[in-house]
């Protein structure tokens, strides 16, 4: 078995090469979803996700799964109240998932075609991104953006003041 070293009757786990698994970043989103298998199918359709791993659990649910979207990983699992595996929020999640893509217009259109609802239409923003929000059929909010301009802090502040009709941060 890979990762396990056995000598006579004793077996030990091979030491990790890194404290962060290969291919992951130090921060990775892990979602609890009611219908994780269906969510993976949705992510493939909406965001071109590639399935990396799937660990089936009891009752056809997933104990753990991982997908890759662009250069980032997303972990997920089904809701298992009987095992204390995650809380299932019903709506109004207090976060959004930020996705940067090379072509925000086509990515936004693809997400909507896959079943997302537009929550904030695409628009050029004062900080230099073309940016909008969608809510997926499972209730998660996504920002989708393409960075189109590199601006100085002063340029962003001027644009923000113009957009909001006064001093930035006031």
Q: Is 87 a residue whose pLDDT tops 50?
A: yes
What would the pLDDT profile of 143-154 be if each residue is shown by its tens digit? 999 999 999 999
Report helix, strand and coil shares of the chain as percent, to nearest 5: 25, 35, 40
56/38 Cα distance (integer angstroms): 13
Parse the chain into domains and list their residue ranges. Answer: 24-81, 96-164
Query: pLDDT exceeding 90 applies to what percent of the chain?
Result: 69
Q: What pTM did the predictor assign?
A: 0.84
What would the pLDDT profile of 107-159 be if each residue is shown by its tens digit? 999 999 999 999 999 999 999 999 999 999 999 999 999 999 999 999 999 99
Q: 62 and 56 in contact (C-beta within 8 Å)?
A: yes
Q: Is 3 a residue whose pLDDT tops 60?
A: no
Would you say the CATH fold of 96-164 matches that of 24-81? Answer: yes
Q: 65 and 84 in contact (C-beta within 8 Å)?
A: no
Exposure pattern of 104-115 as b/e (b: 16+ CB <10 Å)? Answer: beebbebbeebe
| pLDDT band for position 1 (cuts 50, 70, 90) | very low
What confidence score (pLDDT) does residue 150 get? 96
What would the pLDDT profile of 7-44 be if each residue is shown by its tens digit? 555 667 788 889 888 888 899 999 999 999 999 999 99
What confidence score (pLDDT) does residue 162 get? 93
| pLDDT band for position 102 (cuts 50, 70, 90) | very high
The CATH code that applies to domain 24-81 is: 3.30.720.120
CATH fold group of domain 96-164:
3.30.720
| pLDDT band for position 55 (cuts 50, 70, 90) | very high
Q: Is 4 a residue whose pLDDT tops 80?
A: no
């Amino acid at each position: 078995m890979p990762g396990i070293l056995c000598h006579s009757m004793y077996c030990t786990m091979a030491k990790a090469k890194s404290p962060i698994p290969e291919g992951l970043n130090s921060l990775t989103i892990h979602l609890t979803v009611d219908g994780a298998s269906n969510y993976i199918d949705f992510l493939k359709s909406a965001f071109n996700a590639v399935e990396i791993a799937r660990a089936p659990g009891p009752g056809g649910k997933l104990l753990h799964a991982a997908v890759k979207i662009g250069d980032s990983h997303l972990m997920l699992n089904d809701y298992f109240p009987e095992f204390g595996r995650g809380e299932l929020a019903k709506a109004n999640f207090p976060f959004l998932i930020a996705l940067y893509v090379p072509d925000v217009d086509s990515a936004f259109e693809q997400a909507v075609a896959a079943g997302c609802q537009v929550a904030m239409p695409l628009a050029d923003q004062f900080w230099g991104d073309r940016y909008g929000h969608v809510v997926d059929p499972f209730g998660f909010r996504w920002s989708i953006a393409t960075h189109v301009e590199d601006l100085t802090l002063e340029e962003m502040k001027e644009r923000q003041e113009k957009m909001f009709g006064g001093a930035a941060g006031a």
